[in-house]
Amino acid sequence: MKKLGLFILSFILCLGPFSIAMAQKSPTICAVHPFTGRFAFAGIEGSAAMQDVVDMANEAGGINGKKIQYYWGDGEYKDDVGIAAFKRLYAQYNPQIMFGQSTGMTKALGPEIKARYKVLYSAYTMTSEAANPKENPYLFIAAPTYTEQFGVLLKYIAKEKPGANIAFFYSDTEFGREPIVAGREMCKKMGLNLVTEEVSQVGGVDITTQVLDMKAKKADYCIFQGFVSNPIAAVIKQSKDYGLNAKFMGTFWSTELQLLKELGPLAEEYTGVTAYSFYFQEDVPMVKKIREWTQKKYPKVEYRSQSYMENYLTTLLFVECFKRADKMVGGITGDNLTKALQSIKNFDVGGLMPPVSIKSNSIPVGRVYRGNSKTVRFDPISDWIRME
Amino acid sequence: MRCGDYKENYIKDEEIFQSRFVKFWLSLFFIFLIVFPFIANAHMLYVSNIIGFAVIGAIGLNLLTGFTGQISLGHAAFVGVGAYTSAILITRYGISFWLSIPLAGLASALAGLVIGIPSLRVKGLYLCIATLAAQFIFGFIFVHWESMTKGITGIHIPPPQIGGFQFSTEKEFYWLTLIFVVLGVGYARNLVRSKMGRAFVAIRDRDLAAEIMGIDLFRYKLTAFAISSFYAGVSGALWVSFLKVVTPDHFPFTLCIQYLAMVIVGGLGSVLGSIFGAIFMTLIPEVLNVLAENAKNYMPGMEQLLIPFKDVVFGFLIVSFLIFEPRGLAEIWNRIKKFFTLWPFSY
């Protein structure tokens, strides 16, 4: 009887360290990147950014001595494959934070993340559905939503030329159509005149009709949405042929060096909004840090894209959330991570963005840049603009 | 080696499972399918469900293309019609999931009937293009009929339920998928050995001769389109109820190509071929993904090269299978079975 009692007591005592060990599970991030498919340019850079931030954080001591684990899978930019990769990674590594590859995947997994997985989640998306804390507190984006980006551009236009004629030029996809309804409302509120909406296929080159329509409607500004490069370059080039004197603007995914290279001498014609400093802005402390790290670890890499910067900032926020959640009762859990996220106010990111404050699970701030054909870079033409 | 296997009448000869040996192994397979959800993790169950939906859709396309010889490039559109019909009936009109599935199938069948009308005048590549129109027409409707489909935002669908029990996880939904796959396979297998099935094959082999023999081309071609689309609609309805969301981006043109690849690689004119093709086209990319991801443990730094390389490997596998057996995986299976029918003898 005495032996049985000792055995039971030992067993109970063993549970204590065991439960502590369970609570001290490594902070783990799992990500589904589009390494193949039409978004591969973002996936490859994005994964590199995540790995770099994790390595830097681990070199600096991790999360209270615990190394951050990072695992990834290829979603091929297909929802089925991405969701399968998500479930595979979750089953294998049981992470507290996950990152997805697309808007479609985010929409499909959102309800399950809220009901079952309870992991902090972000993705290669700027859809408003991923920035709605009332509907789903686990989802957030480390950027302004497409709607907020439109707002930044329209605010800039309203200041530069009140009452201007606006044209929306978007792709016939979820990505393209996302901010259009809100964009119409914002035009009305800001006293801008939405004269036409043009729709085209992604990568389309036959856009003469749209250019002529914008010319007929006397559009002063044309805002692109839902394209990465084509047909933006084609529209800008053809506008010169057909005498369309509009200023061309775009949102995050098109405000990239690739477009400037395609535009060549017409680079000044394009103005875009983005949420992050560029790799060539060497006066920005965080950019300087990224450059030093890149030159040390990847000496052959000459440039890091905005996709890299986006994932870099997102992972910085992940690490900060880990640190804050680790100090909470219960340790690093999905719920504590969401609380940690909401507590982020004026978080210094070294100039990559202004000090970050999470608002409605997004960061509604952007800056307008204009292309420069001589330097083949973007020059900032506005200060950071916050959307209320 | 099979011995003493002889048939005394045509009914026995037409049986699907012709020997006790086959019945035994099939029973074991069914037991495995029932035990599987209790031993598999969420990822395996997710992939199993996706395979199930692909099997139903592929059988539908094989009935039309493989058995009736009508090439269709609009199969994804019919999957979409079924998906949206089910989503709209459940969320807008409060109809239960159990009723929405057959109604979704019927809606797709109706769409298939309409799109199949050109098949009475054109065939081959011309019919291909005519059915391709369905893909673009329905794609446009899914995006622009916003009052019904909610456009690009899509429709969120609640999980199916019986009483208070919800089929919301992969494991719970697996049972539904299994039931529908068994029903779909059973019906198709019996259809192809019925009068209608023989009419389909006759139309495929020589439609003029079939017409002369008294087979009504109008009726049977449209029936093939309707049945094929019914299968596609059911597959779509199940798929979106499983994902709990439907958006227009779920039904791109590449989905049509994927289904065609399933039936060609699996074997045209074979129900078993549809199953093999669906498994191959769904499972092999998943296996290659896992291998590529794990390769970084053995070849660090090479993953950027290995990950795109898996697409090359997948394409190579498809081409190899078709070179060695143009009639698909089903014919490879038949050859293996024939070998063991006489084994250890050669003839």
Asked if A42 and A127 sit in the same domain, the reply is: yes
Q: A378: domain CATH number? A: 3.40.50.2300
**B227-247 average pLDDT score:** 95
Asked if A376 and A235 sit in the same domain, the reply is: yes
Asked if A156 and A257 sit in the same domain, the reply is: yes
Asked if A93 and A75 sit in the same domain, the reply is: yes
Quick check: A104 and B250 CB within 8 A? Answer: yes
Q: Write down the pLDDT at residue A2.
A: 53
Q: Write down the pLDDT at residue B18.
A: 76
Asked if A93 and A230 sit in the same domain, the reply is: no
Q: Quote the domain boundaries for residue A244.
A: 146-274+368-386
Residue A9 lies in a domain: no
Q: pLDDT for A292-311, tens place per residue? A: 999 999 999 999 999 999 99
Task: Using CA coordinates, name the residue in chain A closest to B243.
Answer: A108
pTM: 0.83
Most confident by average pLDDT, A207-211, B14-18, B88-92, B167-171: B88-92
Quick check: A116 and B169 CB within 8 A? Answer: yes
Mutate to test the interface with A, among B147, B307, B310, B314 (most CBs of A within 10 A): B307
Asked if A127 and A265 sit in the same domain, the reply is: no
**Closest approach of A85 to chain B, Cα-based (Å):** 8
CA dist list (Å): B185 to B24, B57, B59, B95, B174: 19, 11, 7, 26, 16
Q: Is the pLDDT of residue B230 over 80?
A: yes
Quick check: B42 and A81 CB within 8 A? Answer: no
Quick check: A173 and B152 CB within 8 A? Answer: yes
Residue A324 lies in a domain: yes
A114–chain B Cβ distance below 8 A for any pair: no
Asked if A72 and A134 sit in the same domain, the reply is: yes
pLDDT band at residue B312, thresholds of 50, 70 and 90? confident
Q: Write down the pLDDT at residue B343.
A: 72
Residue A330 lies in a domain: yes
For chain B, give the percent of residues with pLDDT over 70: 96
Q: Write down the pLDDT at residue A103.
A: 86
Asked if A260 and A113 sit in the same domain, the reply is: no
Q: pLDDT for A310-323, tens place per residue? A: 999 999 999 999 99
Residue A4 lies in a domain: no
Give me the residues of chain A with pLDDT under 70, please.
Answer: 1-24, 204, 388
E-strand ranges in chain A read 28-33, 69-74, 97-100, 120-123, 165-171, 193-200, 221-225, 247-250, 270-274, 365-372, 377-380, 385-386
- Number of domain units in chain A: 2
| Phi-psi group of A224: left, alpha or beta (phi > 0 → left; psi -120 to 50 → alpha; rest → beta) | beta
Q: Write down the pLDDT at residue A7.
A: 46
**ipTM of the predicted assembly exceeds 0.90:** no
Q: pLDDT for B42-69, tens place per residue? A: 889 999 999 999 999 999 999 999 999 9
Which residue in A36, A73, A115 is closest to B293 by CB distance? A73
Q: Write down the pLDDT at residue B4.
A: 64
**Closest approach of A352 to chain B, Cα-based (Å):** 27
Mutate to test the interface with B, among A146, A174, A181, A225 (most CBs of B within 10 A): A174
**B314-331 average pLDDT score:** 87
Q: pLDDT for B280-297, tens place per residue? A: 999 988 888 888 877 776
List, as one string, the DSSP characters of A129-183.
GGS-TTT-TTB--SS--HHHHHHHHHHHHHHHSTT-EEEEEEESSHHHHTTHHHH
Mutate to test the interface with B, among A30, A32, A33, A35 (most CBs of B within 10 A): A35
A112–chain B Cβ distance below 8 A for any pair: yes
Q: Write down the pLDDT at residue B2.
A: 60
Asked if A179 and A260 sit in the same domain, the reply is: yes
Asked if A305 and A258 sit in the same domain, the reply is: no
- CB contact residues (below 8 A), chain A span 18-37, against chain B: 35-36
Which residue in B46, B151, B247 is closest to A107 by CB distance? B247
- CB contact residues (below 8 A), chain A span 124-143, against chain B: 129
Quick check: B304 and A178 CB within 8 A? Answer: no
Asked if A101 and A187 sit in the same domain, the reply is: no
Is residue A291 within 8 A of residue A279, CB to CB? The reply is yes
Q: Write down the pLDDT at residue A15.
A: 40
Asked if A158 and A136 sit in the same domain, the reply is: no
Residue A350 lies in a domain: yes
